[in-house]
Chains A and B, each alone.
Chain A
C-alpha cells in the first residue's frame, strides 16, 4: 500500500499541493515536465521532423496532441479517478436521505442502465455505456442499498453472460468492440447468487405492495412491514414500477441461461421467460406516466430523448472515468439510446430470440438454410445472431446433436444406412463437414461481413468438389465393380458431388443477391449483375432438378411402391415446384437483363462512359471471386457482351419474359399452399413481373420516339428484383 500521495503542481504561483489520485509508488515519482516540454517546443522549426530508426512519418501519424479533447483520452474532465468521483459525492449511498427521492433516483439508475445496455448491444463500448455507472464499478459499496445492489449484480452477471455468448460465436469481426472488456470488473464473487439476491428483494417489494393495497382497503395485515418510501400515496406506484423492472431482469437472465443449455434443451423454457420479459417491458413502459407525475417539477427538454422514464438525469454515471479503458483509440462522445428506444430494442431482441427458440431443429439442411435466410430478413442484431449460431453449431455437430456427415448424407438424398459409412473418415469428407459447419456460421453474421466471407468461401467449395471428383475418379473411374460396398461408396460420391455443386451455386446466388441488399450495385451495373444472376440460377436450377431426380430414385428404391400408379408417372414427368420456383427467378433475371441491355444500347445517355475505365473493369471487379472459382464455367465478360450487345427495343418487344414469370408464379402457388414464406415470395415475384411487363410494353412502344422517357428502378416489391418505373418528364 503506497504512502499518502503528494502532488507537486507546476508551482508557478506556489499554490499548496493537491491530493493526487494516481499515487507515486516505491519505484515511481512525479516530476514536473513543463520546462522540458517548453524547451522541446523551441527545438524544432516548422517543417522539421525527428528521424529515427523506428520513428518515421507513418509512425508519426499515431501521435496525439496532449490536451486536445478529441485525441487525448487521458484528459481529465471532472475527476481523475473513480475513487475521486466517489469521494466527491458523484455516487452517494444512499442516493438520498429522503426515501421517496431515493426510490425515484434508483429507478432512474435502472432505466439509464437499460438504455446503456441497449447502446452497448448496438455497438458502443462496455466502458462508455453500462460501466459508466460508478455504482457498478464499485459494486461492493452498494451492499447497504439492497435494491441498487441486487440490480447492479444482475446487470453485471447478465453482461458477463452476453459477452460469453458473443465471444463463443467468434464471428463478430467488425463488431469486435462488443467483447472488449479491457479489465472492467465483469467477474464478481457471488454473482452466481445474483438471482436469489434479486428474488429476496422482489419478495420484499411484493409484500410492501400487498401491504399498501391492504392499507388502502382498510384491512390490517399481521406483518409490521416498513413501507418502501415515505409518501403513502405514491407507495403502490413505486412498488409496481420497481417490480416490473426487477422481474424483467430476472426473466431476461433466465432466457440467457435457458438458451445456453446444450442441444436446445432449454428453448421451450426460454420462450416462457421471453413472454414474461415482454409482459414486464409493457409494464415498465406504462410506469412512465406515474414516474413523470411524482413530483411537481417536470424535466426540461424533450421527454422522448431522455434515458429515464421519469425524464430526470440519472445520478452516478460518468463515461469519462473509463476513458483509458474504453478502447485503443480515443473515445468519442457517444449518445446513449433514449429510454424509449432502449425498450424498443429489447422488445425486438426478445422477438428475435423467440423466433430462434421456436425453431424445430429440423435435421434437413435445406430447411435450416431457408430458416436462417428468413431469420436474417428481420435484421437481427449481434446478440440474437450469436445465439442462433451457438444453437446451430455446438461441439462440431449440428444442434450439438447431428454429425455433419449425417446431415450431408440426408441433404444428398442418400439412404439412411450410409450415414455411418466409413467413407466419412476420408479427408475430403471431413473437410466437407467443416465447410458445412462454416457455412452455417457465416450465414449467421451481419450481411456486410457475410457477403465478403461467402465470396471467399466459393473457392473452398470449388476446391472440395475437385478433390472429391478426383478421389472418385481414382477409385472408380476405370473399374466397373460388382462389390456391394464399392457400389455404396460410388453412390455416396455421386450424390455428394451433385449436392456440392448445388450448394456451391446456392452460395453464389446468395453472394450476388446480398449485393442488392447492401446497395453495392449502381444502376449502371444492374444489367451485368442480372445477367450473371441468370447464369448462376440456370445452373442452380439444373443441379436442384438433378438432385430431386436422384432423391426420387432413392425413395423408389426403398420399395415404397410396388408399381408406379399413373399419378406417380405424371408427377415424375412434371417439373418439381422447387425448380419451377427457380425458373420464375430465371425469367425475371433474364427479363431485367434484356430490358436494361436494350435501354443501354438505345439510349446513349442512359449510362455514360467513365474517364478512367470501362464496363469490363467493373465486370472483373464485381465477379472476380466467382470467376476465380469458375462459377459458372464458360462465363466471361465476352459472353456477357455477346448476350446483350444486340438487345434493342424491337428485340425486346418480341418476347416478354415477365409474362412467363407471372405465369409460372401463378402455377406454382398451389404447390406451396402450406408454406407461407414461399407464398409471400411468390406474391412479390408476381407483382414485380406484372409491373415490369407493363413497363416493358411502354418502353418498347415509346422508347425510341420519346427522348423524355425517364426510367428508374425501385426495390419496392422485392428485395433483389427491381421494379421498373417509367415516367415522362
Chain B
C-alpha cells in the first residue's frame, strides 16, 4: 500500500478513537502499521512479546473504524530502576501532525507512571526532528548520543523521561 504523498486526511481530532490493546484481533493491525512504516523487520514473536506481557501499555488509534496509529511499549526492572520503554510508535502519513502520536504516547506514559515506573526511555534517530520535538514537549531529555546506532550510519539519541518523585500521601 502506497500512501499518496502530501495527501492529508480530513478529520476532527474528536473523531479519533483511542483503544487499549484488546487481544489477538488487534495484532495484525499493529503489525501491518509497523511493517509499513518502519524499516526494521520484526517477526510476529516480537510483537507478541510486547502485547502479551504488557497489553495495558499498547494503544491503537482508530478513525471511522480504520487503524491509523499505534504505540507498543514495555516496562521492567533495569539496573535498580523500574523503567518503561517505548518500542514502536507509528501514525500513518495522512494522519500525521494532528497530535495523534502525542496522545498515544501520553496514554502509555500515564499508564507507566501509574504502574510505578520511575522513568521512560526510547531511542530515536538524531535526524527525526518530529519525534525529538514530540518527546521534548513531553519532558524527555536527550540523555546520550549513540554513535552510528543505525545500520545506515545514522546516530541515535537515547531519550529519557524522569518522573518526579511521588508526592507523599498524608
A-side interface residues toward B, CB under 8 Å? 46-47, 49, 57-58, 60-61, 63-65, 68, 70-71, 122-123, 174-175, 332, 334, 446-449, 451-452, 518-522, 524-525, 608, 610-614, 616-618, 620-622
Residue-wise, chain B 149-167 has the 8 Å CB interface mask toward A (1 for contact) of 1010101010011111000
Cα(A61)–Cα(B40), bound, Å: 13
Whether a CB of chain A sits under 8 angstroms from the CB of B36 is: no
A611 touches B142 (CB 8 A): no
Interface residues of B in 32-75 (CB under 8 A from A): 41, 43, 45-46, 48-49, 52-53
* Known A123-B148, A521-B142; 11 more pairs at CB < 8 Å: A60-B45, A61-B45, A63-B43, A174-B146, A334-B151, A451-B145, A520-B141, A520-B142, A522-B136, A610-B137, A612-B161
Write the chain A residue with the least CB distance to B40: A70
Which residues does chain B contribute within 8 Å of A621, judged by CB atoms?
A: 141, 143, 160, 162
A519 touches B145 (CB 8 A): yes
- Minimum CB–CB distance for B126 against chain A, Å: 7
- Minimum CB–CB distance for A133 against chain B, Å: 21
A616 touches B145 (CB 8 A): no
Whether a CB of chain A sits under 8 angstroms from the CB of B8 is: no
Cα(A58)–Cα(B46), bound, Å: 8
List 10 A-B residue pairs with CB atoms under 8 Å apart, sorted by A's residue number.
A57-B53, A60-B49, A64-B43, A71-B41, A448-B145, A448-B146, A520-B142, A520-B157, A521-B142, A608-B137
Partner of A49, one of B48, B141, B146: B48
Whether a CB of chain A sits under 8 angstroms from the CB of B115 is: no
Partner of B41, one of A49, A60, A70, A614: A70
Whether a CB of chain A sits under 8 angstroms from the CB of B24 is: yes
Given A61-B43, A617-B162, A617-B163, check contact A612 B139 (CB 8 Å). yes
State which size class the interface on B falls in: 35 or more
Which residues does chain A contribute within 8 Å of B161, judged by CB atoms?
A: 612-613, 617
Given A332-B151, A610-B138, A621-B143, check contact A60 B48 (CB 8 Å). yes
Q: What DSSP secondary structure best describes chain B's contact surface?
A: mixed
B151 touches A71 (CB 8 A): no
Which residues does chain B contribute within 8 Å of A518, judged by CB atoms?
A: 145
- Minimum CB–CB distance for A529 against chain B, Å: 11
Write the chain B residue with the least CB distance to A58: B49
Residue among B109, B141, B160 facing the most chain A CB atoms (10 A cut-off): B141
Cα(A519)–Cα(B144), bound, Å: 10
Cα(A490)–Cα(B124), bound, Å: 52
B106 touches A611 (CB 8 A): yes
- Minimum CB–CB distance for A678 against chain B, Å: 28
Whether a CB of chain A sits under 8 angstroms from the CB of B113 is: yes
Write the chain A residue with the least CB distance to B23: A47
Cα(A63)–Cα(B24), bound, Å: 19
Which residues does chain B contribute within 8 Å of A620, judged by CB atoms?
A: 162
Partner of A618, one of B141, B147, B148: B141
Which residues does chain B contribute within 8 Å of A618, judged by CB atoms?
A: 139, 141, 162
